Amino acid sequence: MKRILFLMMSVLMCVSAAFSQQPDISGYLQQIESGRGEDVRAELPTLLNQYPNNPGILYVQAVLTTDGAEAVRLYQDIVDKYPTSEWADDALYRVYKFYYAIGLYRTAEIKLNQLRSTYPTSAYLAAATESGAQTTQETVQPTTPPATDTTKDVPTAKPDEPVKTVPAEPTPVQQTPIEQHPPVQQQPDVTAGKFSLQVGVYSTRANANKQKQFFEYQKYQTEVGSKMKGSKELFAVYVGAYASESEAKAAGDAIKRSFNIDYLVVAR
């Protein structure tokens, strides 16, 4: 009997020790907010080595990441791999705010709806719902089903600046391959590859350039080409220059997964 009690006490002590060794995530976040982020950054490699699968530590890593695209990838990993973690709704809210800030309103709305349905008691819902209402007002209304709508405008405003409402274009443009006619802007270097990804078609150069700027921000080689359709000049956004159609498709699938933007593989 004494041996059984001893074993039970040993187990309880081990469990207690394990909980007491859990990292103080809130404490680290408070340090970052108070301007001591570099102190936490210096400690981060040790924390990642000690707690490689701790969603709270991964959340701290994402908060400290200065590259927006890399940070949103880390946040999304938390949502995908640790959906029941106490940090999952925090991470999803940050993913939503990232897409909203760069003007991918449709993707932002998808993330907002996911936050509402998956984490209905999240403290972030009030703030997200308020900005989500603005998103609905500012998003260009699609003229095609959501799965094929790739003509959303990407504003160049900084994340903290208000984004002005973008009026819907008078003529809906379908996402179909178009020819070069004649190029009014330098086209992708065809010597680097025979295939590119067409990720959007616009009736104005300004709107095409906004999407171009978004992909350039994500470190993609991007160009704008034009053609005449009747008396209307259209502008297509091309991403990359790939040696084979399969290589281009793989890159397009990665873009689809990361940004929810449809694409077409076109020969250049």
DSSP, res 232: E
DSSP, res 219: T
**199 phi and psi angles, rounded to 5 deg:** -110, 0
The more confidently predicted of residues 143 and 167 is 167
Q: How many CA atoms lie within 13 A of 169 on its CB side?
A: 19
Same domain, 195 and 223: yes
The tens digit of pLDDT for each residue in 154-184 reads 443 334 434 333 444 444 444 444 444 444 3
Helix locations, 149-233, DSSP H:
205-217
The tens digit of pLDDT for each residue in 173-232 reads 444 444 444 443 444 444 457 899 999 888 888 888 888 888 888 889 999 998 788 888
Which pair of tokens denotes residue 172? 């809906």
Whether 228 maps to a domain, the answer reads yes
Number of domains the chain contains: 2
Helix (H) or strand (E) holding 195: strand 195-202
Whether 8 maps to a domain, the answer reads no
Which pair of tokens denotes residue 255? 């873009």
The tens digit of pLDDT for each residue in 83-142 reads 999 999 999 999 998 888 776 777 888 889 999 999 999 988 887 766 554 444 333 333
Angle formed by the axes of helices 37-50 and 25-33, nearest 10°: 160
**CA-based nearest residue to 159, from 114, 96, 110:** 96
The tens digit of pLDDT for each residue in 236-261 reads 999 999 999 999 999 999 988 888 78
Average pLDDT score over residue span 20-46: 88
Distance CA 241, CA 222 (A): 9
The answer to whether the beta carbons of residues 238 and 244 sit under 8 Å apart is no
- Put simply, whether the predicted model's pTM sits higher than 0.75 gets the answer no
Q: In the chain, which ranges are E strands?
A: 195-202, 222-229, 232-242, 264-267
- Which CATH number do you get for residue 192? 3.30.70.1070
The last residue of one of the domains, among 109, 138, 167, is 138
The last residue of one of the domains, among 138, 171, 186, is 138
